[in-house]
Structure 1
Amino acid sequence: MNNEFRPALLIVDLQEDFCPPHGALAVAEGRLIAPIINDLLQLPFVKKIATKDFHPPHHISFASNHPEPHNRPFTSFATIPNPHNPDETQISRLWPVHCVQGTPGAELIPELDTSRIDLIVEKGQDSRVEMYSAFEAPFRDPVVKEASSGLAQKLREAGVTDVFVVGLAMDYCVRSTAIDAAAEGFKTYVISEATKAVDSGEQGWGKTEKDLESADVTLVRLAGEELGKVRLLQTV
Protein backbone atom coordinates (compact mmCIF):
# COMPACT_ATOMS: atom_id res chain seq x y z
CA MET A 1 0.00 0.00 0.00
CA ASN A 2 2.84 2.38 0.80
CA ASN A 3 3.95 2.43 -2.82
CA GLU A 4 0.46 3.17 -4.11
CA PHE A 5 -0.87 5.59 -1.52
CA ARG A 6 1.44 8.23 -0.08
CA PRO A 7 -0.70 10.99 1.44
CA ALA A 8 0.46 14.43 2.56
CA LEU A 9 -1.23 16.87 4.93
CA LEU A 10 -1.11 20.50 3.82
CA ILE A 11 -2.00 23.04 6.53
CA VAL A 12 -2.72 26.38 4.90
CA ASP A 13 -2.02 29.71 6.64
CA LEU A 14 -3.01 28.93 10.23
CA GLN A 15 -1.48 32.24 11.27
CA GLU A 16 -2.17 34.90 13.88
CA ASP A 17 -3.39 37.49 11.37
CA PHE A 18 -6.04 35.07 10.11
CA CYS A 19 -7.35 34.18 13.57
CA PRO A 20 -9.44 35.97 16.21
CA PRO A 21 -9.28 37.83 18.45
CA HIS A 22 -6.56 40.16 17.15
CA GLY A 23 -5.87 39.07 13.57
CA ALA A 24 -5.81 41.84 10.96
CA LEU A 25 -7.75 39.57 8.61
CA ALA A 26 -9.36 37.18 11.09
CA VAL A 27 -11.60 34.35 9.89
CA ALA A 28 -14.47 33.73 12.31
CA GLU A 29 -13.72 30.69 14.49
CA GLY A 30 -10.45 30.17 12.61
CA ARG A 31 -8.51 29.35 15.77
CA LEU A 32 -10.97 26.60 16.70
CA ILE A 33 -9.76 24.22 14.00
CA ALA A 34 -6.32 23.84 15.61
CA PRO A 35 -7.25 20.81 17.80
CA ILE A 36 -8.70 19.03 14.79
CA ILE A 37 -5.55 19.68 12.78
CA ASN A 38 -3.38 18.52 15.68
CA ASP A 39 -5.27 15.23 15.67
CA LEU A 40 -4.64 14.93 11.93
CA LEU A 41 -0.94 15.59 12.51
CA GLN A 42 -0.79 12.38 14.55
CA LEU A 43 -1.81 10.31 11.53
CA PRO A 44 0.89 8.67 9.36
CA PHE A 45 1.00 11.17 6.50
CA VAL A 46 4.29 10.82 4.63
CA LYS A 47 4.71 14.60 4.60
CA LYS A 48 3.19 17.24 6.88
CA ILE A 49 3.57 20.77 5.55
CA ALA A 50 2.38 24.12 6.87
CA THR A 51 2.20 27.20 4.68
CA LYS A 52 2.49 30.84 5.68
CA ASP A 53 1.53 34.05 3.96
CA PHE A 54 4.81 35.96 4.23
CA HIS A 55 4.40 39.35 2.62
CA PRO A 56 6.80 42.26 2.22
CA PRO A 57 5.38 45.56 3.54
CA HIS A 58 4.79 46.89 0.03
CA HIS A 59 2.75 43.91 -1.16
CA ILE A 60 0.24 44.63 -3.91
CA SER A 61 -2.66 43.02 -2.00
CA PHE A 62 -2.56 45.67 0.73
CA ALA A 63 -5.16 48.38 0.22
CA SER A 64 -2.83 50.94 1.82
CA ASN A 65 -0.39 50.47 -1.07
CA HIS A 66 -2.95 51.78 -3.59
CA PRO A 67 -4.06 55.38 -4.26
CA GLU A 68 -7.26 56.87 -2.92
CA PRO A 69 -10.16 56.51 -3.28
CA HIS A 70 -9.72 52.94 -4.55
CA ASN A 71 -7.91 51.65 -1.49
CA ARG A 72 -10.53 50.50 0.95
CA PRO A 73 -9.85 47.11 2.53
CA PHE A 74 -12.41 44.42 1.65
CA THR A 75 -14.43 46.60 -0.74
CA SER A 76 -11.84 47.89 -3.23
CA PHE A 77 -10.41 45.84 -6.08
CA ALA A 78 -7.30 46.22 -8.21
CA THR A 79 -6.34 44.89 -11.62
CA ILE A 80 -2.98 43.15 -11.26
CA PRO A 81 -0.98 42.34 -14.42
CA ASN A 82 1.34 39.41 -14.93
CA PRO A 83 4.80 40.97 -14.45
CA HIS A 84 5.96 39.17 -17.60
CA ASN A 85 2.84 39.66 -19.73
CA PRO A 86 0.68 42.77 -19.21
CA ASP A 87 -2.10 41.24 -21.31
CA GLU A 88 -2.73 38.62 -18.62
CA THR A 89 -4.42 40.26 -15.64
CA GLN A 90 -6.18 39.35 -12.41
CA ILE A 91 -8.84 41.36 -10.62
CA SER A 92 -8.11 41.03 -6.92
CA ARG A 93 -9.79 42.20 -3.74
CA LEU A 94 -7.63 44.46 -1.57
CA TRP A 95 -6.97 43.59 2.06
CA PRO A 96 -5.74 45.15 5.29
CA VAL A 97 -2.01 44.84 5.92
CA HIS A 98 -1.47 41.26 7.11
CA CYS A 99 1.17 38.57 7.57
CA VAL A 100 4.09 40.92 7.03
CA GLN A 101 7.48 39.22 7.26
CA GLY A 102 8.96 39.48 10.74
CA THR A 103 5.75 40.53 12.48
CA PRO A 104 3.73 38.58 15.09
CA GLY A 105 0.79 38.39 12.67
CA ALA A 106 2.80 36.22 10.29
CA GLU A 107 3.49 33.56 12.94
CA LEU A 108 1.72 30.22 13.06
CA ILE A 109 -0.69 30.18 15.98
CA PRO A 110 0.78 28.62 19.14
CA GLU A 111 -2.11 26.15 19.42
CA LEU A 112 -0.76 24.35 16.33
CA ASP A 113 1.56 21.44 17.18
CA THR A 114 4.48 22.49 14.99
CA SER A 115 6.67 19.73 16.44
CA ARG A 116 4.90 17.32 14.08
CA ILE A 117 5.32 19.50 10.98
CA ASP A 118 8.07 18.47 8.56
CA LEU A 119 8.29 21.65 6.52
CA ILE A 120 7.04 25.25 6.52
CA VAL A 121 6.54 26.86 3.11
CA GLU A 122 6.42 30.66 2.90
CA LYS A 123 4.35 32.14 0.10
CA GLY A 124 3.28 35.55 -1.16
CA GLN A 125 6.78 37.01 -1.01
CA ASP A 126 6.71 38.59 -4.47
CA SER A 127 5.26 42.07 -3.93
CA ARG A 128 3.99 42.28 -7.51
CA VAL A 129 1.42 39.48 -7.42
CA GLU A 130 -1.41 38.18 -5.23
CA MET A 131 -0.86 34.56 -4.27
CA TYR A 132 -3.68 32.68 -2.60
CA SER A 133 -2.34 29.30 -3.70
CA ALA A 134 0.55 27.75 -1.81
CA PHE A 135 1.94 26.58 -5.16
CA GLU A 136 1.98 29.48 -7.62
CA ALA A 137 0.69 32.95 -8.37
CA PRO A 138 -2.47 32.79 -10.53
CA PHE A 139 -0.75 33.63 -13.81
CA ARG A 140 -0.03 30.95 -16.38
CA ASP A 141 1.07 32.85 -19.52
CA PRO A 142 3.80 32.59 -18.35
CA VAL A 143 4.02 31.29 -14.78
CA VAL A 144 5.74 33.83 -12.50
CA LYS A 145 8.62 31.60 -11.45
CA GLU A 146 9.96 34.13 -8.96
CA ALA A 147 6.74 33.75 -6.95
CA SER A 148 6.70 29.94 -7.00
CA SER A 149 6.98 28.29 -3.58
CA GLY A 150 8.50 25.08 -4.95
CA LEU A 151 5.81 23.12 -3.13
CA ALA A 152 4.93 20.82 -6.03
CA GLN A 153 8.55 19.73 -6.36
CA LYS A 154 8.82 19.11 -2.61
CA LEU A 155 5.74 16.88 -2.71
CA ARG A 156 7.06 14.95 -5.71
CA GLU A 157 10.44 14.46 -4.07
CA ALA A 158 8.60 12.85 -1.15
CA GLY A 159 6.71 10.54 -3.51
CA VAL A 160 3.35 12.01 -2.50
CA THR A 161 0.30 10.76 -4.39
CA ASP A 162 -2.58 12.31 -2.44
CA VAL A 163 -2.90 15.71 -0.76
CA PHE A 164 -5.28 16.52 2.11
CA VAL A 165 -5.77 20.29 2.51
CA VAL A 166 -6.87 22.05 5.71
CA GLY A 167 -6.50 25.53 7.23
CA LEU A 168 -7.57 29.06 6.31
CA ALA A 169 -9.51 30.27 4.55
CA MET A 170 -11.74 27.81 2.73
CA ASP A 171 -12.92 30.33 0.11
CA TYR A 172 -9.50 31.82 -0.63
CA CYS A 173 -6.16 30.15 0.08
CA VAL A 174 -7.50 26.66 0.84
CA ARG A 175 -9.56 26.74 -2.35
CA SER A 176 -6.72 27.94 -4.57
CA THR A 177 -4.18 25.60 -3.00
CA ALA A 178 -6.42 22.56 -3.45
CA ILE A 179 -7.23 23.45 -7.06
CA ASP A 180 -3.54 23.87 -7.86
CA ALA A 181 -2.68 20.60 -6.11
CA ALA A 182 -5.15 18.78 -8.35
CA ALA A 183 -3.78 20.60 -11.42
CA GLU A 184 -0.30 19.38 -10.43
CA GLY A 185 -1.57 15.81 -10.66
CA PHE A 186 -2.13 14.97 -7.00
CA LYS A 187 -5.38 13.37 -5.91
CA THR A 188 -6.70 16.15 -3.72
CA TYR A 189 -9.12 16.45 -0.81
CA VAL A 190 -10.28 19.27 1.46
CA ILE A 191 -11.29 18.17 4.97
CA SER A 192 -14.48 20.11 5.72
CA GLU A 193 -14.24 20.16 9.53
CA ALA A 194 -10.64 21.43 9.40
CA THR A 195 -11.24 24.68 7.53
CA LYS A 196 -13.29 27.86 7.93
CA ALA A 197 -14.45 30.34 5.29
CA VAL A 198 -14.34 34.13 5.24
CA ASP A 199 -17.91 33.89 3.95
CA SER A 200 -19.69 30.83 5.34
CA GLY A 201 -22.72 31.42 3.10
CA GLU A 202 -23.56 30.49 -0.45
CA GLN A 203 -21.24 33.07 -2.04
CA GLY A 204 -18.27 31.82 -0.02
CA TRP A 205 -18.37 28.24 1.19
CA GLY A 206 -21.16 27.26 -1.22
CA LYS A 207 -19.43 28.60 -4.33
CA THR A 208 -16.14 27.09 -3.20
CA GLU A 209 -17.71 23.64 -2.98
CA LYS A 210 -18.77 23.96 -6.62
CA ASP A 211 -15.34 25.27 -7.66
CA LEU A 212 -13.60 22.36 -5.96
CA GLU A 213 -15.89 19.82 -7.57
CA SER A 214 -15.24 21.34 -10.99
CA ALA A 215 -11.49 21.04 -10.37
CA ASP A 216 -11.75 17.37 -9.34
CA VAL A 217 -11.10 18.13 -5.66
CA THR A 218 -13.12 16.06 -3.18
CA LEU A 219 -14.60 17.57 -0.02
CA VAL A 220 -14.32 14.91 2.68
CA ARG A 221 -15.23 14.42 6.34
CA LEU A 222 -13.04 13.37 9.26
CA ALA A 223 -14.94 10.10 9.54
CA GLY A 224 -14.84 9.43 5.80
CA GLU A 225 -13.19 6.52 4.04
CA GLU A 226 -10.48 8.76 2.55
CA LEU A 227 -8.97 9.53 5.97
CA GLY A 228 -9.74 5.98 7.02
CA LYS A 229 -7.25 4.90 4.37
CA VAL A 230 -4.62 7.15 5.97
CA ARG A 231 -5.29 5.61 9.38
CA LEU A 232 -4.82 2.14 7.94
CA LEU A 233 -1.22 3.02 7.12
CA GLN A 234 -0.50 2.72 10.83
CA THR A 235 -1.20 -1.00 10.67
CA VAL A 236 0.75 -1.73 7.50
Structure 2
Amino acid sequence: MTRALLIIDVQNDFTEGGALGVDGGAAVASGITRFLAEHGDDYDLVVASRDWHDGDNDNGGHFAGEADPDFVDTWPVHCVSGTTGAEYHPDLDTSRVDVHIRKGQGVPAYSIFEGTDDEGTPFPELLTRHGVTEVDVVGIATDYCVRASTLDALEHGQHARVLTGLVAGVAAETSEAAIAEMGHAGAEIAGEEASEASDG
Protein backbone atom coordinates (compact mmCIF):
# COMPACT_ATOMS: atom_id res chain seq x y z
CA MET A 1 0.00 0.00 0.00
CA THR A 2 1.16 3.49 -0.82
CA ARG A 3 0.52 6.10 1.87
CA ALA A 4 0.37 9.87 1.63
CA LEU A 5 0.21 12.59 4.25
CA LEU A 6 -2.08 15.46 3.29
CA ILE A 7 -1.27 18.74 5.05
CA ILE A 8 -4.25 21.02 4.58
CA ASP A 9 -3.94 24.81 4.46
CA VAL A 10 -1.45 25.52 7.26
CA GLN A 11 -1.21 29.15 6.17
CA ASN A 12 -0.68 32.47 7.91
CA ASP A 13 -4.24 33.66 7.24
CA PHE A 14 -5.66 30.56 8.94
CA THR A 15 -3.50 30.81 12.06
CA GLU A 16 -3.59 33.25 14.94
CA GLY A 17 -3.47 36.85 13.75
CA GLY A 18 -4.49 35.98 10.20
CA ALA A 19 -7.57 37.09 8.29
CA LEU A 20 -9.39 33.87 9.29
CA GLY A 21 -7.14 32.72 12.09
CA VAL A 22 -8.19 29.77 14.24
CA ASP A 23 -7.07 29.08 17.79
CA GLY A 24 -4.43 26.39 17.83
CA GLY A 25 -3.33 26.99 14.26
CA ALA A 26 0.28 27.78 15.13
CA ALA A 27 0.41 24.75 17.40
CA VAL A 28 -0.77 22.59 14.50
CA ALA A 29 2.03 24.01 12.32
CA SER A 30 4.74 23.17 14.85
CA GLY A 31 3.08 19.84 15.67
CA ILE A 32 3.14 18.77 12.03
CA THR A 33 6.81 19.73 11.84
CA ARG A 34 7.61 17.50 14.83
CA PHE A 35 5.46 14.75 13.37
CA LEU A 36 7.31 14.89 10.04
CA ALA A 37 10.66 14.70 11.83
CA GLU A 38 9.53 11.53 13.61
CA HIS A 39 7.26 9.90 11.03
CA GLY A 40 7.99 11.48 7.65
CA ASP A 41 9.66 8.32 6.40
CA ASP A 42 6.42 6.40 7.01
CA TYR A 43 4.92 8.13 3.98
CA ASP A 44 5.59 7.55 0.31
CA LEU A 45 4.29 11.04 -0.52
CA VAL A 46 3.83 14.22 1.50
CA VAL A 47 1.46 16.79 -0.02
CA ALA A 48 0.60 20.26 1.27
CA SER A 49 -2.27 22.41 0.04
CA ARG A 50 -2.85 26.13 0.17
CA ASP A 51 -5.76 28.38 -0.59
CA TRP A 52 -4.45 30.56 -3.41
CA HIS A 53 -7.13 33.07 -4.27
CA ASP A 54 -7.12 35.80 -6.90
CA GLY A 55 -6.73 39.31 -5.57
CA ASP A 56 -8.61 41.13 -8.32
CA ASN A 57 -12.04 39.43 -8.14
CA ASP A 58 -14.40 37.78 -5.66
CA ASN A 59 -13.26 34.27 -6.59
CA GLY A 60 -16.65 33.11 -7.75
CA GLY A 61 -18.47 34.70 -4.83
CA HIS A 62 -16.10 33.22 -2.23
CA PHE A 63 -15.07 36.69 -1.03
CA ALA A 64 -17.93 38.67 0.48
CA GLY A 65 -16.83 41.97 -1.05
CA GLU A 66 -18.94 44.90 0.15
CA ALA A 67 -21.47 42.64 1.88
CA ASP A 68 -21.00 41.12 5.31
CA PRO A 69 -19.56 37.60 5.07
CA ASP A 70 -21.83 34.79 6.26
CA PHE A 71 -18.83 32.57 7.17
CA VAL A 72 -20.52 29.67 5.41
CA ASP A 73 -20.30 30.47 1.71
CA THR A 74 -18.81 33.98 1.79
CA TRP A 75 -15.67 35.06 3.61
CA PRO A 76 -13.43 38.04 4.24
CA VAL A 77 -10.53 38.40 1.83
CA HIS A 78 -7.90 35.77 2.68
CA CYS A 79 -5.01 33.80 1.20
CA VAL A 80 -4.56 36.03 -1.84
CA SER A 81 -1.84 34.66 -4.11
CA GLY A 82 1.53 36.26 -3.53
CA THR A 83 0.66 37.72 -0.12
CA THR A 84 2.11 36.85 3.26
CA GLY A 85 -1.28 35.55 4.35
CA ALA A 86 -1.19 32.88 1.66
CA GLU A 87 2.23 31.58 2.68
CA TYR A 88 2.75 28.56 4.88
CA HIS A 89 2.99 29.31 8.58
CA PRO A 90 6.68 29.75 9.45
CA ASP A 91 6.55 26.94 12.04
CA LEU A 92 5.65 24.42 9.32
CA ASP A 93 8.78 22.79 7.93
CA THR A 94 8.01 22.33 4.24
CA SER A 95 11.34 20.67 3.41
CA ARG A 96 9.66 17.27 3.62
CA VAL A 97 6.80 18.25 1.31
CA ASP A 98 6.99 16.47 -2.05
CA VAL A 99 4.07 18.19 -3.80
CA HIS A 100 2.52 21.62 -3.29
CA ILE A 101 -1.14 22.03 -4.25
CA ARG A 102 -2.91 25.35 -4.88
CA LYS A 103 -6.70 25.56 -4.78
CA GLY A 104 -9.34 28.25 -5.14
CA GLN A 105 -7.71 30.12 -7.99
CA GLY A 106 -10.69 32.21 -8.98
CA VAL A 107 -13.32 29.83 -7.62
CA PRO A 108 -14.49 28.62 -4.20
CA ALA A 109 -12.53 25.54 -3.16
CA TYR A 110 -12.33 23.77 0.16
CA SER A 111 -10.95 20.33 -0.69
CA ILE A 112 -7.40 19.54 -1.75
CA PHE A 113 -9.02 17.40 -4.44
CA GLU A 114 -10.09 20.64 -6.18
CA GLY A 115 -6.50 21.84 -6.50
CA THR A 116 -3.59 21.42 -8.86
CA ASP A 117 0.18 21.23 -8.54
CA ASP A 118 2.59 23.82 -9.93
CA GLU A 119 2.34 22.22 -13.38
CA GLY A 120 -1.45 22.28 -13.35
CA THR A 121 -1.91 18.56 -12.73
CA PRO A 122 -5.18 17.87 -10.85
CA PHE A 123 -4.63 16.42 -7.40
CA PRO A 124 -6.65 13.21 -7.97
CA GLU A 125 -4.46 12.48 -11.00
CA LEU A 126 -1.36 12.86 -8.84
CA LEU A 127 -2.66 10.32 -6.35
CA THR A 128 -3.35 7.87 -9.17
CA ARG A 129 0.07 8.49 -10.69
CA HIS A 130 1.77 7.69 -7.37
CA GLY A 131 -0.47 4.70 -6.65
CA VAL A 132 -1.68 6.16 -3.36
CA THR A 133 -4.32 4.06 -1.58
CA GLU A 134 -4.16 5.47 1.97
CA VAL A 135 -4.09 9.07 3.17
CA ASP A 136 -3.61 10.64 6.57
CA VAL A 137 -5.12 14.11 6.85
CA VAL A 138 -3.88 16.95 9.09
CA GLY A 139 -4.16 20.73 9.06
CA ILE A 140 -6.71 23.54 9.13
CA ALA A 141 -9.61 23.86 9.53
CA THR A 142 -11.20 20.71 10.91
CA ASP A 143 -14.72 21.88 10.15
CA TYR A 144 -14.05 23.18 6.62
CA CYS A 145 -11.10 22.20 4.45
CA VAL A 146 -9.97 19.18 6.48
CA ARG A 147 -13.55 17.91 6.44
CA ALA A 148 -13.98 18.52 2.70
CA SER A 149 -10.64 16.93 1.83
CA THR A 150 -11.30 13.84 3.93
CA LEU A 151 -14.78 13.30 2.52
CA ASP A 152 -13.41 13.68 -1.02
CA ALA A 153 -10.64 11.20 -0.24
CA LEU A 154 -13.27 8.65 0.72
CA GLU A 155 -15.25 9.42 -2.43
CA HIS A 156 -12.08 8.74 -4.44
CA GLY A 157 -11.67 5.33 -2.84
CA GLN A 158 -8.89 6.18 -0.42
CA HIS A 159 -8.58 4.76 3.05
CA ALA A 160 -8.59 8.03 4.97
CA ARG A 161 -7.44 8.68 8.50
CA VAL A 162 -7.75 11.99 10.35
CA LEU A 163 -5.05 12.66 12.95
CA THR A 164 -7.02 14.66 15.50
CA GLY A 165 -3.92 15.76 17.38
CA LEU A 166 -2.79 17.68 14.31
CA VAL A 167 -5.91 19.59 13.29
CA ALA A 168 -7.52 22.83 14.45
CA GLY A 169 -11.04 24.04 13.78
CA VAL A 170 -12.99 27.26 13.66
CA ALA A 171 -15.35 26.28 16.48
CA ALA A 172 -15.54 23.36 18.89
CA GLU A 173 -19.13 22.42 18.08
CA THR A 174 -18.72 22.40 14.30
CA SER A 175 -15.35 20.65 14.58
CA GLU A 176 -16.86 17.87 16.69
CA ALA A 177 -19.69 17.55 14.18
CA ALA A 178 -17.20 17.37 11.31
CA ILE A 179 -15.18 14.66 13.02
CA ALA A 180 -18.35 12.68 13.62
CA GLU A 181 -19.40 13.14 10.00
CA MET A 182 -16.02 12.03 8.68
CA GLY A 183 -16.06 8.98 10.92
CA HIS A 184 -19.61 8.09 9.87
CA ALA A 185 -18.56 8.38 6.22
CA GLY A 186 -15.82 5.82 6.79
CA ALA A 187 -12.74 7.73 7.84
CA GLU A 188 -10.61 6.42 10.66
CA ILE A 189 -10.40 8.96 13.47
CA ALA A 190 -7.07 8.66 15.25
CA GLY A 191 -4.96 10.65 17.63
CA GLU A 192 -1.47 11.71 16.66
CA GLU A 193 -0.07 8.79 18.62
CA ALA A 194 -1.92 6.39 16.31
CA SER A 195 -0.21 7.70 13.22
CA GLU A 196 2.71 5.32 12.96
CA ALA A 197 2.85 3.27 9.80
CA SER A 198 0.46 0.38 9.70
CA ASP A 199 0.86 -2.73 7.61
CA GLY A 200 -2.79 -3.64 8.01
TM over 0.5: yes
2:54 pairs with 1:56 = yes
Kindly state the Cα deviation for residue 149 of structure 1 after the two structures are TM-superposed. 6.4
- In 2, the alpha carbon distance for the partners of 1:114 and 1:124 equals 21
- Which residue identity lines up with residue 171 of structure 1 in the other structure? D
Query: Matched residue of 1:135: which SS?
Result: helix
Task: Name the residue aligned to 1:154.
Answer: 126
Q: Which residue of 2 aligns with 1:121?
A: 101
Letter in 1 for 2:113: F
- Tell me the equivalent position of 1:86: none
Pairing of 1:62-101 with structure 2 (within 5 A): 62-64=63-65, 71-74=67-70, 92-101=72-81
> Partner of 1:206 in structure 2?
176
Matched residue SS, 2:7: strand
Q: Please identify runs of 4+ aligned residues in structure 1 that moved more than 4 A.
A: none
Identity, % of aligned pairs? Answer: 36
Q: What is the letter of the counterpart of residue 83 of structure 2?
A: T
1:229: Cα distance to partner? Answer: 2.6
| 1:29 and 2:24 matched | yes
Question: 2:142·2:179 contact (CA, 8 Å) conserved in 1?
Answer: no
- 2: distance between equivalents of 1:188 and 1:124? 23
How many pairs does the alignment contain? 189
Matches within 5 A, 1:136-155: 136=114, 150-155=122-127
The equivalent residue for 2:16 is 20
Please, what TM-score do these two structures have when normalized by structure 1? 0.75
Q: Which has the larger radius of gyration?
A: 1
Amino acid at match of 1:180: D
Deviations 1:69-117 (CA, angstroms, capped at 9, x unpaired): xx21245xxxxxxxxxxxxxxxx52111000111111001111111111
Give, in whole Å, the separation in 2 of the partners of 1:149 and 1:20: 31
Structure 1: stretches of 5+ with no match in the other structure: 76-91, 138-147
Tell me, what secondary structure is at the counterpart of 2:182?
helix
TM-score normalised over the length of structure 2: 0.88
- 1:35-54 aligned at under 5 Å gives the runs 35-42=30-37, 43=39, 44=41, 45-54=43-52
